[in-house]
Amino acid sequence: MEWYLKVLKQYAVFGGRARRKEYWMFALFNFIFCIGAVIIDNLLGTTAGELHYGLFYCIYILAVLLPGIAVTIRRLHDVGKSGWFYLIVLIPIIGPVWILVLLCKEGNAGENNYGPNPKETAA
């Protein structure tokens, strides 16, 4: 949970680097909270017609959209890629797979163009 909160504290920080653990813990808790928001929408009847999500889900997604993009860009910085590389996801099929591979890849050892290695500074 501390990694999720760390990302939220760096709400719109696009500079620097993010460890794999920081990114994937954010993704895990984000997924859990999305499921919780869908359950709340269904229990309270705030779903949008035939869809299974509604008001609470949409509010949550809008609230974490910017930190989600920011942590993804910082993760790309950790593997030595520019934040603009995130746009590769727009290429059908190959783009999302390529981004997934980069997000799973070990970060560059030592300092790179985007700052010091967060794994070394956290230890």
75-90 tens-digit pLDDT: 999 999 999 999 999 9
89-119 tens-digit pLDDT: 999 999 999 999 999 999 888 888 888 888 8
Q: Tell me the whole-structure pTM to 2 decimals.
A: 0.89
- Domain coordinates in residue numbering, the chain: 2-122
User: What one-character-per-residue DSSP string does 65-97 give?
Assistant: HHHHHHHHHHHHHHTT--GGGGGGGGSTTHHHH
23-74 tens-digit pLDDT: 999 999 999 999 999 999 999 988 888 888 889 999 999 999 999 999 999 9
